[in-house]
Amino acid sequence: MLSSLKSFLAPYWFSIAKWGAIGGSVLAVVLTVRNSGKDAVIADQQKKTAQNREIANETERNINRLDDHAVRERLRKRWQRD
């Protein structure tokens, strides 16, 4: 059975190998592009998170610089607006 399969595929082995290599190359390129796209999205999310964290830290530093009376007044005004 195996010998008959070998004799049947003998004229086509080069074509099969060629198409297998082409398919493997295309698959490798597609997976590489897909992974680089995911990496870019993750990098963008990390950049946005870092920017938001910096804004939050700056706000916290500004609040900590105020005296207690100013902080209470600011919070009171925020609650009265609602």
pLDDT at residue 82 greater than cutoff 60: no
Domain count, the chain: 1
Question: Does residue 53 form part of some domain?
Answer: yes
Question: Does residue 24 form part of some domain?
Answer: no
pLDDT at 80: 62
pLDDT at 47: 95
pLDDT tens track for 18-72: 999 999 999 999 999 888 888 889 999 999 999 999 998 888 887 777 777 877 7
- SS3 string, the chain, reads CHHHHHHHHHHHHHHHHHHHHHHHHHHHHHHHHHHHHHHHHHHHHHHHHHHHHHHHHHHHHHHHHCCHHHHHHHHHHHHHHC
pLDDT at 24: 94
Question: Does residue 12 form part of some domain?
Answer: no
pLDDT at residue 78 greater than cutoff 70: no
Give the predicted TM-score (pTM) of the model.
0.51
Question: Does residue 10 form part of some domain?
Answer: no
Question: Does residue 76 form part of some domain?
Answer: yes
